[in-house]
Amino acid sequence: MDSVLQAILQDLEKTFAAKGSEFRGQASLLVPADQIVAAAQALRDQHGFGMLAALSAVDYWPQPQPRFHVVYQFKNIPQKLRLELRVALDGNEPELDSISSIYPNANWHERELWDMFGLRIKNHPDLRRILMPEDWAGYPLRKDYPLGYEEVEFTFNFEEIEQRKPRPKE
C-alpha cells in the first residue's frame, strides 16, 4: 500500500473514528454507519476519489451483531488509487443513508441492496425493487433465504414430482 493511500487512511481514521485494515495490498476502512455520507463527501471532494466503482453488501447471518457489511469501492482515477469502505449494520431490518446525492450511480446499487438484502435506504430518490418482480416476498441474497431449488427428479420420485410440476394453462 503506497504512501499516499496510507496518508489518506490516517486522515480518514482520525476524522471519522474509522478502523483501517489491509489485505494483499488493498486498503479497507470500517466506518460507523452514520458517518458514511460525510465520509463519501470527504473522499470525493478532498481526496479526489471521483468514481464509486462498486457497492455491495455481505450478510453474516447467524451473527446478529454486525449482521450486514455494506462495502463501497472507491476509485481515484488521477492518482490510480482504490479504497474500500465498509459499514457495519445490525439487526434484520437495518437502515442506511443514501449517497446517491454525491455519487449518482449509487442509485441503482442502493436499489439492488434494498431488493437483495432488505437494507432500507433513507432519502433515496426512488427506492423500488430493481431485479426481482415488484410483488416478490423476501430478500433473495440473504443467507437465511433458501436457494429455492427444485427437487432433483430420479426414477423413484419421478411420478409425484411430475404431479406437483405446474402445467401451462392452455
Phi/psi of residue 11, nearest 5 degrees: -60, -45
Q: Residue 7 interacts with other proteins (CB under 8 A)?
A: no
Q: Residue 41 interacts with other proteins (CB under 8 A)?
A: no
Looking at 11-19, 30-38, 90-98, 99-107, which segment touches other proteins (CB under 8 A)?
99-107
- Site size toward other proteins, by CB under 8 A: 47
Name the one residue in this structure whose C-alpha cell is 450511480.
105
Q: Coil, helix or strand for 38?
A: helix
> 33, 37, 38, 53: which one contacts other proteins (CB under 8 A)?
53
Quote the longest CA-to-CA distance of the chain: 68
CB of 137 to other proteins, least distance (A): 11
Burial of residue 69 (number of CB atoms within 10 Å: 0-12, 13-18, 19+): middle
Q: How many Å apart are CA 54 and CA 59, to the nearest integer?
A: 17
Q: Residue 37 interacts with other proteins (CB under 8 A)?
A: no
Q: Residue 107 interacts with other proteins (CB under 8 A)?
A: yes
Residue count (the chain): 170
Q: Residue 166 interacts with other proteins (CB under 8 A)?
A: yes
> 3, 14, 93, 133: which one contacts other proteins (CB under 8 A)?
133
